[in-house]
């Protein structure tokens, strides 16, 4: 006679098999022609995650000192006299210094584990899961660094991350600049179009919260900007009467 432990193990095994079948069915239902693009800061997160990451990495004293050192660029960006990407690079150069890629990756992993979860909006994570359940491709498009966005995005099921990338020198140290243009505004659309290349989406959903998402929202079939109305429902885009 088998004991209760054996029965529990069998029940767990059956559940795992059923879950595998469900995931397999969803993969067959996947509609790659529908894409949902999410901004991160202010959209999925409740605040500017880069500031939190830098402060958590270097400490408050260096964070404030770096902001003071980079203030000519930051003020210039606020007055629209300096490119936002140039100002951001100056701030990171003043705060992160010449930290190595390995050090920053360790810092990012700690941030993803210990700090980032408390910054996330549950309703946006639910919306992400809804798109994934419907078989849509989901992509994160953000001006924040891929250092912490990439591992976090992989953990919640994003198909791709299009974000600002730090440049490193031959010794693997932060070079004080970006490898590509700051992923903001028009650059977000350029990255999206380069990502889908010759296979543009039949339907594009976009979620954002600020001026930096304007061009991406204009490119979308269905766009939502925080503060400009309630979160739109995700309907079957092939169903009769679905708004376009």
Determine contact, residues 45/208, Cβ cutoff 8 Å. Answer: no
Is 41's pLDDT higher than 70?
yes
Residue 39 near residue 141 (C-beta atoms within 8 A): yes
Other residues' Cβ atoms within 10 Å of the Cβ of residue 20: 10
Reading across the β-sheet that carries 222-225, which strands appear in turn? 160-164, 137-145, 34-38, 203-208, 222-225
| φ, ψ (nearest 5 deg) of residue 224 | -135, 125
Point out the least confidently predicted range of 29-43, 135-149, 159-173. 29-43
CA dist., res. 158 & res. 207, Å (int): 14
pLDDT per residue as tens digits for the range 49-95: 999 999 999 999 999 999 999 999 999 999 999 999 999 999 999 99
DSSP-based three-state secondary structure for 224: strand
Q: What span, in angstroms and rounded, lies between the C-alpha atoms of 138 and 126? A: 13
Q: How many CB atoms lie within 10 A of CB 63?
A: 18
Return the pLDDT at 230. Answer: 86
- Pairing of β 34-38 and β 203-208: parallel
Residue 233's pLDDT is what?
A: 83
pLDDT tens-digit readout, 148-202: 999 999 999 999 999 999 999 999 999 999 999 999 999 999 999 999 999 999 9
> What is the pTM for the complete model shown?
0.83
Structure tokens, 147: 């250092």
Tokens linked to 214: 């304007």
Reported confidence tier of residue 12, pLDDT bands at 50, 70, 90: low
pLDDT for 134 beyond 80: yes
Q: Which two tokens stand for residue 111?
A: 């941030």
Is 139 within 8 Å of 188 (Cβ atoms)? no
Q: Can you give the pLDDT at residue 21?
A: 46
Closest CA to 209 of 46, 84, 52, 88: 46
* Cβ atoms of residues 211 and 138 within 8 Å: no
The answer on pLDDT for 144 being more than 90 is: yes
pLDDT > 50? residue 227: yes
3-state helix, strand, coil in the chain (%, to 5): 50, 15, 30
206 contacts 213 by C-beta, under 8 angstroms: yes
The pLDDT score that the predictor gives to residue 150 is: 97
């Amino acid at each position: 006679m088998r004991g209760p432990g054996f029965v529990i193990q069998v029940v767990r095994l059956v559940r795992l098999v059923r879950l595998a079948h469900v995931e397999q069915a969803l993969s067959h239902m996947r509609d790659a022609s529908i894409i949902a693009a999410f901004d991160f800061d202010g959209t999925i997160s409740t605040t500017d995650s880069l500031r939190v990451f830098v402060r958590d990495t270097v400490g408050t004293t260096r964070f404030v000192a770096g902001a003071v050192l980079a203030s000519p660029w930051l003020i210039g960006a606020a007055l629209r006299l300096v490119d936002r990407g140039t100002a951001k690079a100056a701030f990171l150069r003043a705060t992160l210094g010449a930290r190595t890629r390995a050090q920053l990756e360790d810092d990012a992993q700690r941030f993803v584990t210990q700090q980032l979860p408390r910054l996330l909006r549950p309703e946006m994570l639910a919306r992400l899961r809804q798109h994934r359940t419907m078989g849509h491709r989901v992509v994160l498009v953000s001006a924040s660094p891929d250092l912490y966005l990439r591992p976090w995005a992989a953990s919640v099921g994003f198909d791709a991350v299009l974000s600002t990338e730090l440049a490193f020198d031959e010794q693997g140290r932060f070079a004080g600049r970006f490898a590509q243009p700051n992923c903001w505004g028009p650059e977000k659309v350029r990255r999206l179009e380069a990502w889908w290349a010759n296979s543009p989406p039949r339907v594009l959903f976009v979620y954002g919260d600020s001026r930096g998402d304007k061009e991406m929202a204009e490119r979308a079939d269905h766009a939502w900007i925080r503060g400009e109305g309630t979160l739109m429902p995700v309907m079957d885009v092939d169903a009769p009467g679905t708004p376009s």
